[in-house]
Amino acid sequence: MKVGEKLFQTVFYFIILYVFMFSIAEAKIPEFLLKQKKTVVTVHINDKDGLEIASDKGVVVDESGIIATECRLVKKWLEDVQNVLVVRTDYNSLHHLDRLISYNAVLDIALLKIDVNGLSTTRLKEHGGNAVVRYILKQVEIYRRSVKPQPKKDIPEKPADKAASISKPVESSDTSAVSLGQDKPEKTEKQIAESAGEYFKRGQSNEGTKKYAYAIESYKQAVKLKPDYFEAYVNLGLVYYRLAKYHEAIEVLGEALKIKLDISIQSKIGTIYIILGEYQKAVGSFKDAINSHPQNAELRFNIGIAYLLAGDRNAAYEEYIILNKLDKEKAESLFDLLYR
């Protein structure tokens, strides 16, 4: 090899190495996103005793609760099956991990979701030239396409002078409740169903204004009147979930599944088991969902995480093999968690 060619290759090698190292150094949450204070959150990793072992900033990248943070926090979370990941948003409210959406070791970016809506979202599109921002936008779009749009809750508008009756707990002395709650013999099946529907709407209204105690009572009344009221069971279970009453949530969502099998409810129960640290039960819940939806990439990714947390890397790797045929990006994210 000529000296000139060798020198050229050496210089070329160092240029590539420099570009690679520079890209890695820059591949984290950009400072211009962290400056948008209202969208910044804190991601905490706590050990089994509730003691914090790591924390760092994250940013809200979608109002549905998608958070971008650094990979090292996710790795720390996975170091011990009893570690817990929580996100502190504005007003110091804490939210547990709902799901891990994607993970990119090269960019040092992980996207996770918490179960909360209506968060202030960082401005991303105006910084579309940044590699990290492009990755985030792409992953958020993929996630949105993978999730079924939820129908908007039918919250009837009430006149201002009747607003108090919405949030007032239902008591036996409340005359407005007599026509709803008392199961009088003369009531027809249709009337009972209508009464259950009124309680359901009241529950939605109170849930929409974060009056969760009232919402719980209303949903309970709805399922008492109509024991096969699937939607009321689901809403009741999700309110318990938001309040971190996880065992109650599992019980109520389980009742919903007795009425109708639903992949999203099965997946939610699996997620709650992960939060509780009951990883084998999480695997079982995801398996139940996969039995009826074997080609669902998100379920395959979730059960891979559950296997990993349970310490079964072989089973997690098998899910990676399957996932690689369904969704290469999710497969790559799972592989990152397994080996990188």
pLDDT-derived band at 315 (thresholds 50, 70, 90) equals very high
Q: Percent of the chain at pLDDT above 90?
A: 32
Long-range contacts (CB closer than 8 Å, 24 or more residues apart) made by 150-156: 153/204, 153/207, 153/208, 154/201, 154/204, 155/201, 155/204, 155/205, 155/208, 156/201, 156/205
- Please check the confidence at residue 48 and state whether its pLDDT lies above 90: no
Q: Report pLDDT digits (tens) over 222-279.
A: 999 999 999 999 999 999 998 889 999 999 999 999 999 999 999 999 989 988 888 9
User: In a 10 Å sphere around its CB, with 0-12 CB exposed, 13-18 middle and 19+ buried, how is residue 215 labelled?
Assistant: buried
CA angle 275, 280, 286 (to 5 degrees): 80
Q: Which one has a higher pLDDT value, 174 or 313?
A: 313
Which structural domains are found in the chain, ordered by start?
A: 31-146 (2.40.10.10), 160-339 (1.25.40.10)
| Both structure tokens of 262 | 């639903």
CA distance 301 to 12: 39
Flag the least confident range among 99-108, 251-260, 272-281, 310-319. Answer: 99-108
Q: Which helix (H) or strand (E) holds 8?
A: helix 3-26
- The one-letter amino acid code at 239 reads V
Neighbouring residues of 65: CB distance < 8 A, sequence distance ≥ 6: 95, 98, 113, 114, 115, 116, 117, 119
Pairing of strands 40-46, 66-69: unpaired
- Alpha-carbon gap, residue 76 to 46, rounded angstroms: 9
